[in-house]
Amino acid sequence: MSLPISFSIRCRTGLTALILVPLLVAPAAAQFKKDVPIPCETVESIGTAEMDANGVITLQLHSLEPNPIAEGVLTYAPDDPQYQEIKDHLGGISPGETKPVRPWCK
């Protein structure tokens, strides 16, 4: 039986997020459905994104069902080199807004 995993990271690069998101999502999904891959394009959300009044974007991410076992929080300040990339991935976001985060598909 797996225990829930939780972590919090303040990212200085989007590369870290691009590495961590698949690591969060893929193993958890594979553990429960080894023979049935989950097509990335069919997943609507792997968490939420929120922008605070200072423009900081916080991503709260989770592994896929069934039984999510991993969660993570990634924070991007406006001066982060990957900030615009994250904002673009979200389709734009404004202060006070919360949006779903779609997965990063290849």
Q: Report the range of poorest mean pLDDT among 9-13, 44-48, 71-75, 85-89.
A: 9-13
Q: pLDDT of 22-41, one tens digit each?
A: 545 554 444 544 556 677 77
Give the pLDDT confidence score for residue 28 in this predicted structure: 47
- What 3 state SS string does 38-69 have? CCHHHCCCCEEEEECCCCCEEEEEECCCCCCC
Which 3 state secondary structure label does DSSP give 56? coil
Which 3 state secondary structure label does DSSP give 105? coil
Give the pLDDT confidence score for residue 74 in this predicted structure: 95
Q: pLDDT of 32-81, one tens digit each?
A: 445 566 777 788 899 999 999 999 999 999 887 776 688 999 999 999 99
C-beta of residue 43 within 8 angstroms of C-beta of residue 64: yes
